[in-house]
Amino acid sequence: MKAITLDQSTEEKINYTEIQTRMLNPGEVRILIKAAALNHRDEWCRQGLYPNLKDGIILGSDGAGIITELGEGVNPDFLGKEVIINPALNWGQNQKAQGSDFEILGMPNHGTLAESIIVPVDRVHSKPNHLSWEEAAALPLAGLTAYRAVSYQGQLQKGETLLVTGFGGGVAQFAAQFGLALGAKLYVSSSNPAKIEKALELGAIKGFNYQDHNWISQAQESVGGFDLIIDSAAGDTLNHLVQVVKPGGKIVFFGATLGNPSKLEARKIFWNQIKIIGTTMGSDEDFKGMLDLVKNHKIKPLVDSVFTFDKAVEAFNRMRDGKQLGKIVLVPQTS
């Protein structure tokens, strides 16, 4: 089969190449991939910024397709089923945090950017009927991360004010849509006016340009403070968020693209009873809750663009350059 693999010896660091498949182990299924989607971790692997990198590993964590083969012990009813894949492996039994064996499809295990993939049968879920293949493929990793941030860690309640920073990325767009579905008053921030405009179309009340030095005062004046902030940048901008979160509010962050803050407004944090919470991916319980929310509210992922597998370098470069609004999806070539 053809697949997109990591190859750090080449100029582009990825190859679209032929890969040998293997036999199924008991409890596994083979899925014919209909669509897969990129996440930032795929580009970080290409840049050599992810731990335990291995050349020859098929990248990609997000995927949707049709089960074409069953391993020993798998219920025959799964054959031919249209599914999406939960890319979180070995979360463990503790809902509060992942276990030491936790891994994600796409590194160090083979991922979804291939014509087919083998996964344990407990990683597959029925594809929501209202989603296309491309939309379904865009959902798993980012949707799971956003759901855990908003629902489990953030404990978002109807009527609360929610700020999603960096709107336009995969997790941020889901956090915004999930917040709206849960009845929050949504606000976003972005440096891109087109992305803010899209958020307003979805139902956001207002968007702030975080490159505008006055955005903090604008937020304080127009909102008065946010009950919950979902962020992935951290760095020194974390102190900006401390300025605009309500007393007793929460800041939940799932990334640190700007690194660690050089200082922290500790006095303001403890005096205002602010909770700063880290989060990542999610448990099997979170994944099921996310799917229920998506199905019940007919939520559709924003798909930025669709590339065929042979155009993988273009797709990765689009993510690298931060041009996307929503998820970048790849599909196998049709014969």
**What are the pLDDT tens digits along the chain (335 aa)?**
999 999 999 999 999 999 999 999 999 999 999 999 999 999 999 999 999 899 999 999 999 999 999 999 999 999 999 999 999 999 999 999 999 999 999 999 999 999 999 999 999 999 999 999 999 999 999 999 999 999 999 999 999 999 999 998 899 999 999 999 999 999 999 999 999 999 999 999 999 999 998 999 999 999 999 999 999 999 999 999 999 999 999 999 999 989 999 999 999 999 999 999 999 999 999 999 999 999 999 999 999 999 999 999 999 999 999 889 999 999 998 75
What's CA 84's distance to the chain center, in Å? 14
Site of tokens 């597959």: 124
* pTM, two decimal places: 0.96
What number of other Cβ atoms are within 10 A of residue 100's Cβ? 6
- Identify the H or E element spanning 314: helix 312-320
- Identify the H or E element spanning 98: none
The most distant pair of C-alpha atoms in the chain lies apart, rounded to whole Å, by 63
- Identify the H or E element spanning 104: strand 103-105
Is residue 171 a contact partner of residue 254, using CB atoms and an 8 Å limit? yes
Q: Which domains does the chain have, with CATH numbers?
A: 2-139+301-331 (3.90.180.10), 143-278 (3.40.50.720)
